Structure 1
Amino acid sequence: MDRSDYDALDAGAVAAALGDLADAFSLVLLAECDSTNSRLLAQLPPDDGRVHVLAADVQTSGRGRRGRVWQSWPGASLTFSALWRFAPGSPVPAGLSLVAGLAVARALEELGVDGVQLKWPNDVLVHGRKLAGILVELTPGRGRTPAAVVGIGVNLSLPPDAQVEYATGVTDLAECLGRAPGASQLLGLVLVQLHRLFEVYAAAGFSALRGAWQQRNAFADLPVSIIGEAEALSGTCAGVDEDGALLLHTPEGLRRVLSGEVSLRLA
């Protein structure tokens, strides 16, 4: 498909959506990329005080958590990765994927999307159906400023024959809003929210954003199962703690589950 056949990413339109924050970002926009996360991790940009963003109209080898593939079609989704650096010498704090999810949720709500929910630790849902996914990968430490690559994919307008597997179904912004917003506008809106929330996060930790995440918790007080733990684990979702770990009411008491390679499912 020719780039003129769909709403390709445009640097000017992204900058317009960023507004006063345009100078805080370095943007690289590609027609096609294997994986924006992989590319950023393999070729870390210099630390010039800006947030480096790599976005692609199409990813040919997009990745999700636990080895999953993020499927991509021209004009069907917004896919990008952003490199976030933290204060030298500080450990990369926990809960990054939850903060990123909250940023996506707020950007969607700003567009007028109703029923936005967050599924621990990395999915954004609308009325229970998946709209966006997040993949956070830490960069190697040793003497470097701690940093993380935050990859985000948002469904804009999936093709009619797309077959995307998700336990509770998938949706896109064309369905949620009647018409998908431009990828450039959406990228700018999400980056603005990421910038705002990561500033709060760096200063006060996840505890400052925990309440906002809890308000959108898709599985609040519902029976859930954890897949990927050494032992089978089921209980009632009690939200998250101040480090972003999942809290689970079980017959044996309150359990704390770290994200790692586990997956949350409705029981």
Structure 2
Amino acid sequence: MLAGMISSVRQQLIERLADGEFHSGSELATELVLSRTAVHNHIEALSGYGLEIYRVKGKGYRLAAPLSLLDAEQLLLGRSVPLHLFWQLDSTNAFLMARRERCHSGEACLAEMQTAGRGRRGRPWVSPLACHLYLSYFWRLEQGMGAVGGLSLAVGVMLAQALERCGYADIELKWPNDLYLQGRKLGGILIEMQGQIGEPCDLVIGCGINVAMPASMADLIDQPWADLQGDSAERVDRTALAQEVLAALATGMQQFEQQGLAPFIAAWGARDRFRDQAVTLLMGEREIQGVARGIDPQGNLQLELASGQIKAFGGGELSLRPQWQN
């Protein structure tokens, strides 16, 4: 069973309701050794985790859709470095950052739910329980902070390839750290680092991928979004997805450490969502408009300005938007 802050009773309720079938209040009360009133109160609390629960008189309770809970046994099988699994965390990135001095390259953290998930520039990341993939991965880059350039692009390629191996075609990438599906945002990457010049750099690579967005959470997102579930009747296996992502990061980070961004550039360009499109680059209060012309060998965005000049822009506080969103 996964560790975490959700009470053991609620964990058991979630595990029983995960099949998407009806379970009567009396059945649940007997199994969990609770009163029916206590079951009802715990069910009410589960709604606060982003779960949609139907209540039908004479039938009981069921989820609006089945859940694919993380399988700890499968995820831990064959691993030689620690993998931390939680029911609930504030942030998987924050967990690894707090213990980075004790971490080994390849160490990872997953959670069924985040209470303070973060995206780039401190934006909140909507993280309902057992609906998406919340995964962070630690790597100690021996070359130091000077070798980190372009890492978010390389990780984007790693994740896209993992998703493609799971059967999801047409994954696209947006500079510098987003994944797109069918023209809408599917996931994001948040890389945090700690280190000093001349020393190895500790990296925590946060990966958030939308798997099955609950209708109750959709209104909290301020841009067009996609999820892997889509209109498919077959439930997405989040454990299999996590395994593919972990495998892709393990192989990809070794390659990045040895060769940098170079082996990922062509693969990134083949998935460039906004290549040759009119875009607006946000630099604080400043806006720069132009046509996106891909990336350079350092991973900088190449933007063709109105003058015809092609200028390269680095990461940091830059934010790319299609011009129709402005």
TM-score (norm 2): 0.74
CA deviation profile, 1:31-60 (whole Å, cap 9, x unmatched): 000011112112225254x41111110000
Asked if residue 52 in structure 1 is aligned to residue 107 in structure 2, the reply is: yes
Gapped runs of 5+ residues in structure 1?
A: none
Q: CA offset at residue 179 of structure 1?
A: 3.2
8 Å contact from structure 1 (residues 36, 151) kept in 2: yes
Within-5 A mapping of 1:1-267: 2=11, 3-4=14-15, 5=18, 6-16=67-77, 22-23=79-80, 25-48=81-104, 50-87=105-142, 91-141=146-196, 144-162=199-217, 163-167=219-223, 169-175=224-230, 177-229=232-284, 231-252=286-307, 253-267=309-323
Q: 1:52 to 1:219 in 2, by over 3 A?
A: same
Q: 1:202 to 1:164 in 2, by over 3 A?
A: same
Q: CA offset at residue 180 of structure 1?
A: 4.0
> SS at 2:84's partner residue?
strand
8 Å contact from structure 2 (residues 103, 138) kept in 1: no
8 Å contact from structure 2 (residues 76, 83) kept in 1: no
Deviates more, 1:85-94 or 1:227-236: 85-94
> SS at 1:187's partner residue?
helix
Partners of 1:78 and 1:193 lie apart in 2 by: 15
> SS at 2:190's partner residue?
strand
Q: 1:121 to 1:261 in 2, by over 3 A?
A: same
Q: CA offset at residue 188 of structure 1?
A: 1.0
**Greater relative CO, 1 or 2 (CA 8 Å, sep 6+):** 1
Q: 1:89 to 1:153 in 2, by over 3 A?
A: closer
Partners of 1:140 and 1:233 lie apart in 2 by: 32
> SS at 2:93's partner residue?
helix
AA matched with 1:29 = L
Partners of 1:178 and 1:133 lie apart in 2 by: 25
Partners of 2:227 and 2:250 lie apart in 1 by: 24
Larger Rg, first or second structure (1 or 2)? 2
Partners of 2:191 and 2:172 lie apart in 1 by: 19
Q: CA offset at residue 125 of structure 1?
A: 0.5
> SS at 1:175's partner residue?
coil
> SS at 1:203's partner residue?
helix
Partners of 2:190 and 2:145 lie apart in 1 by: 21
> SS at 1:114's partner residue?
coil
Gapped runs of 5+ residues in structure 2?
A: 1-9, 19-66
Q: CA offset at residue 257 of structure 1?
A: 1.0
Q: CA offset at residue 88 of structure 1?
A: 5.3
CA deviation profile, 1:88-142 (whole Å, cap 9, x unmatched): 5573320111111111111111111122100111110001111111100111336
Partners of 1:262 and 1:95 lie apart in 2 by: 14
8 Å contact from structure 1 (residues 164, 170) kept in 2: no
TM-score (norm 1): 0.90
Q: 1:238 to 1:178 in 2, by over 3 A?
A: farther
Deviates more, 1:91-100 or 1:238-247: 91-100
